[in-house]
A and B are shown apart, each in its own frame.
Chain A
């Protein structure tokens, strides 16, 4: 990793303050007023707009296998998403993905 200890602590401090301010924002400052609907409508999609984009390249081109598409990791990703969606449950999804990953890796 190319980051100094000072940089790491700076990131921790900025993320700590920034995250707190996000959490405090409306609870702390808005009072009884209501946010505009268009803003709420965009904010509602924040997690599904960020997390898939973060993961997609890691699934498609994993560094661990030289950036080439790996059928084992791809299958594990699909199994995770499918089971988590179907069961509406994070742990079942993670378990399905981890099992798929380990079993296929052992077989292939």
Chain B
């Protein structure tokens, strides 16, 4: 790869990723606030953002911890939230699978909703690009957002204790999750899965914290998959 084309692929990805700073920044700040509210200290909050680096899963874990759920339940539920990334990984494979191992390791660490969505859209449009340019493009999309995810958490965690006590702050997370789910309801199967998940989780709420959610999620995935199978895609 000539240096010039590599640089230009990075820049293209970087520019595509800029708008997402305005999503990830506030989201990271809020995670810092919520994590401290839930009882994590600042190094733990920032450490989680750096090591796990996955928004929805981190919120899930912290929410369950604040409800005093057993730690294995918090782990299982948060990992279940991240299972979709196995699909991202599978979908990137045809484009990036032939990159050197160390590059695939870095891409995997930075495989978020944002970088995946921007990356796969570009790769489908320009499948002829050499793999090294695809890797560089992918890293460009997240070059701004990833550091801000960690820095934003630090600022939020540091500010968390100092924020005025807002009686409504408990509801910030449900709102964010619902806002994330809204655009995902693309087909009848997605809608049916979401409704099954909500209904089953409420019917099973009497079970120990988090366990009802795992059962509800399994039911909802089966409902979505079955509707898709019958209707054809």
Contacts and interface: CB of A to CB of B under 8 A. Distances in A.
Interface stretch (B5-13, B107-115, B126-134, B156-164): B107-115
Contacts of B194: 48-49, 51-52
B115 to A, nearest CB: 11
B220 A3 contact: no
Contact of B83 (A43, A81, A84, A85): A43
Interface string B57-76: 11011010110100100110
Secondary structure at chain B's binding surface: helix, strand, loop or mixed?
helix
Interface in B67-108: 68, 71, 74-75, 77-90, 92-94, 96-97, 101, 104-105, 107-108
Interface in A12-61: 12-16, 18-20, 22-28, 30-32, 35, 38, 40-61
B14 to A, nearest CB: 21
A97 B213 contact: no
Interface residues of A, number: 76
Given A41-B228, A84-B179, A97-B179, A52 B197 contact: yes
Interface of B: 22-23, 38-41, 44, 47-48, 51-54, 56-58, 60-61, 63, 65-66, 68, 71, 74-75, 77-90, 92-94, 96-97, 101, 104-105, 107-109, 111, 167-168, 170-185, 189-190, 193-202, 205, 212-213, 216-225, 228-229
